[in-house]
A and B are shown apart, each in its own frame.
Chain A
Amino acid sequence: MADSIAINVEGVSKRFGKTLALDQVSFQVKPATVHGFLGPNGAGKTTTIKLLMDFIRPSKGKLEILGKDTRANSVVLKRRIGYLSGDFELYNNLTGSQYIKYMSHLSGVKNQSRTLELVEDLNAVMDRKIGLLSRGNKQKIGLIAALMNDPDILILDEPTTGLDPLMQQKFYKAVRDHAKRGKTVFMSSHILSEVQEVCDHVTFMKKGKVLETVEVSNLLAKATRRVVLTVDKNVTMMAPPKVLGASNVSHTKHTLSFDVPQADRKVMRWIAMQPVKDVTINEADLDSVFMNLYEDEEEV
């Protein structure tokens, strides 16, 4: 495998009894990027992550991290990996400090400066029993444990599950800061805004298969913009002309809404000629792309 690949998943299938959870999954993650792993519940995201972490073993295929087989080099690789799951469980009978101390010893982390830095940045509660902490505070301790060894690869499985928006923002910042240090982050999620906010690339999963892996910026460039025009009472507006490439046109008493591929000069000139009171153009987001990919999925 080339050095330019941090994670390589090649033709991986996983069967649980008669259920085929993953079917010939292949994708690659580039180093020093934040790579999103997106899909609805049951798509196979967690199964793939458990395979990468060597918690479970593939029925078929190859998994490599930093050019090493994940099973044969499990212990060696974990010195360079940080892992956190959104629904993780800690030892409730320990305090945050005791837990971090235990994890430091297991990880062989001797220099505690990074840990102290994280405790301060995240404002983590370290002196209370973990069982008495809120979900958000437990998650902070989990994140400190994942980042304490300054891992080259950070693997996160729906890490913001159950976190309030403020905590989510802190979390995104920690992830972005880690990536800025030249590290790789692989993060599963079913929250579009999360992926859009922090990821450079995204792999879409559906029913145990990879749909596609794309750059988020390319994807957003392809995504439509939603234009909403508000008008005064008793003013009738005509529909946008075809030349604008508008779609999903809808009217209410005071508004006209439609999607355009780009809010370019052509669109702006047409809007300027309309008797509008207010104009809103929403930024492109992954929602529309996601909905197109998963339109037959009820859970989305």
Chain B
Amino acid sequence: MFRSIFTKTLYDKRWFMLGWGLGAVSLLALTAAFFPSLSGNGMDALVKSLPPELEGILGDVEDWSTYPGYLASAVFGLRGEMLFVPMAILLGVGLGMGDESNRRLYQLLAKPVSRRRVVLERWLAGLVVIAVVTGIVYASLVVVSPMIGEDVPYELLNGITVITALFTAALFSLTYGLGVATGRKNLAILVPVVWTMGSLLVDAFKLQIDWLKDLEWVSLLSYYKTADLVHDDINLNHVVVLGCIALISLIVALIAFQNRDIHEEA
């Protein structure tokens, strides 16, 4: 595990992976497991009682009465953001700023490793952490679905897993990139938090406030629409946008870190 920065980073993050993996399974798989007790008349009554304006937050509530719809909207649509947004930000700050703020980066950069290598290997390790956590969630749903008497909706689950991993990777890369590029931990946390909160507000009120619809493209969450996957394939535009956020963040980090001073107090 100590052969490279990449493997050493994975070793350091082993408890993070396990913790978030178990947390995600507890939240998402258990929520899915509650579907049988909610389906049927209870769910129909609930769906009928909800005002259509809530669609901005909950997705198409009509879909909730089916297991795939429930998975896409109630499980991932609501709780996915709650789980993967903080995970992405914490992972980004930890990998981007951890060693610098603890003054351990000096010992690392005293060895014959380029700054680019440090940035790239840690970013790749971050992506692996995200893949492992989303993989654990995928596996848990594959196990839970038959246990509650439902078929595994593989196609939907594949789509949800891919877009969740991409969304988390984009937000992680943004946080990581800002931290590495500027050396400012506060900025690295503030920007993704403000963007995500702003996106939540846009999503929540776009059906009530007309001009917010025009701002939908700015909303990060508008590229993470798991509810749409019940009826449609993955939106390639969303994949491209999330991929671009991740790659541009990485490129900015690589260039800026190459040229800046290591901070005494990051």
Contacts and interface: CB of A to CB of B under 8 A. Distances in A.
Contacts of A79: 112
Contact of A88 (B8, B103, B261, B262): B103
Contacts of B3: 105
A92 B2 CA distance: 15
B259 interface: yes
| Contact-residue size bin, chain A (C-beta under 8 Å from the other chain) | 20 to 34
Contacts, number: 64
Contacts of A101: 2
Interface in B56-113: 102-104, 106-113
A101 B2 CA distance: 7
Contacts of B109: 53-55
Interface stretch (A3-11, A70-78, A187-195, A249-257): A70-78
Given A57-B261, A105-B4, A88 B112 contact: no
A78 B111 contact: yes
Contact of A106 (B106, B111, B262): B111
A113 B168 CA distance: 45
Contacts of B235: none
Given A57-B259, A102-B2, A105-B2, A76 B112 contact: yes
Contact of B110 (A83, A98, A102): A83
A274 interface: no
B106 A55 contact: yes
A283 interface: no
Nearest to B111: A106
Contacts of B112: 75-76, 78-79, 106-108
Contacts of B262: 50, 55-56
A88 B12 CA distance: 19
B114 interface: yes
Nearest to A81: B110
A160 interface: no
Interface residues of B, number: 21
Contacts of A142: 107
A85 interface: yes
Interface string A141-184: 01001100000000000000000000000000000000000000
Chain A contact residues: over half helix, strand or loop, or mixed?
Answer: mixed
Nearest to A78: B112
Contacts of B102: 89
A93 B12 contact: yes
A167 B262 CA distance: 30
Interface in B1-45: 2-5, 8, 12
- A53, A75, A103 interface centre (most CB from chain B within 10 Å): A75
Contacts of A93: 12
A56 B261 contact: yes
Interface string A8-50: 0000000000000000000000000000000000000000001
B108 to A, nearest CB: 7
Contacts of A98: 2
B261 A55 contact: yes
Contacts of B106: 53, 55, 83, 85, 88
A89 B102 CA distance: 7
- A89, A90, A106 interface centre (most CB from chain B within 10 Å): A106
A91 interface: yes
A93 B3 CA distance: 16
A93 B16 CA distance: 14
Given A56-B261, A102-B8, A74 B114 contact: yes
- B108, B110, B259 interface centre (most CB from chain A within 10 Å): B110
Nearest to B116: A75
Contacts of B261: 55-57
Given A56-B262, A93-B12, A105-B3, A75 B104 contact: no
Rank and list the top 10 A-B pairs by shortest CB-CB distance, nearest first. Answer: A83-B110, A56-B261, A102-B2, A78-B112, A106-B111, A55-B262, A79-B112, A89-B103, A101-B2, A89-B104
23 contacts: A53-B109, A53-B110, A54-B109, A55-B106, A55-B109, A56-B261, A75-B114, A78-B111, A83-B110, A85-B106, A87-B103, A88-B103, A89-B102, A90-B107, A101-B2, A103-B107, A105-B2, A105-B3, A106-B5, A107-B111, A108-B112, A142-B107, A146-B110
Interface of A: 50, 53-57, 74-76, 78-79, 81-83, 85, 87-91, 93-94, 98, 101-103, 105-108, 142, 145-146
Interface of B: 2-5, 8, 12, 102-104, 106-114, 259, 261-262
